[in-house]
Amino acid sequence: MKRFEDSAAIITGPSDQGIGGAIAERLADEGADLILLGLDKPTRLIKRLVRRGTSVCWHRVDVTNSQMIQKAVTCCYEELGHIEILVNNAGVEFSKKFEEIEDDEWDKLISVNLTGAMKMTRAVLPFLTEQGGVIINIASVLGMAGCPGFHAYSASKAGLIGMTQSLALEIAPYGQRAVCVSPAIVQTPMAHKHSADLSSEAWQKLEDAHPLGIGRPQDVADVVAFLASHEARWMTGMSIPLGWIPSFGLPAPTNSSMIHSSELSKKPVISTK
């Protein structure tokens, strides 16, 4: 029997090539039914999942919108009758000097990365299976070590780690768990838009901060699958660093790799990893 057979997993912000999509495929490989929530439909991902025979349901949801979330979660529960796993993966980011940050772009990022995860978790908890249900938050190296230019992103991920720790204590009496993973740099479209602007020297510094090399989405997905499984039943409230050593800070980005606020305003409220 596969580890996640007869289990249903909700994943926010999945994309065709990012971490969320890799998590979806990894859980599907082990038998999970999937509910994918986000703004941009990952058409190629869904086609791959359907070809494998996975039960997959897509709902267009903005994780900053409580009504959309509640409607989608309730619909999923009514259709499947159970929810065992929630993966809060949806996120956005930008990089710029601290004194140049605008109020609206700070608020937008926090509303997706941190408040969005809170709203998703709040909606799912009443339906989450007791004695085995798990919430997995995708945090970041930048929530534990920090990096110049990524102030809002670091704050959102540090907040997500703290929320996970408190939530884990609250839901433990019901046999439910909450955990984080904090990946270093992973080869995703979100990372590539910054790496393209880095000098060879700056890129070498980044590689030096990753003793085992830059990660792949599948590396994160493998750890998420373990944390979602019964084998991790005694693990809760922690954030697991992936691909880096916590004592290593990441080098500052060059000015050319920092995104101007006007570019952020052109992007949808939810990006995907």
- Spell out a b/e string for 160-182, using b for 16 or more CB atoms within 10 Å of the CB, else e: bbebbbebbeebeeeebbbbbbb
Single-letter amino acid, residue 247: S
Report the amino acid identity of residue 210.
Answer: H
Structure tokens at 145: 């070590």
Pairing of strands 56-60, 33-38: parallel
Q: Helix (H, G, I), strand (E, B), or coil: what is residue 101?
A: coil
Identified catalytic residue from 153, 154, 194, 257: 153
Q: What's the CA gap between 84 and 192, in Å, rounded?
A: 33
Is 153 a known active-site residue? yes
Going by C-alpha positions, the residue among 207, 211, 98 that lies closest to residue 151 is 98
Phi-psi category of residue 262: left, alpha or beta, with phi > 0 → left and psi -120 to 50 → alpha: alpha
**HSE-CB for 152 with a 13 A CA cutoff:** 27
Residue with tokens 């809760």: 236
Q: Residue 52 corresponds to which tokens in the numbers above?
A: 């494998």
Catalytic residues: 153
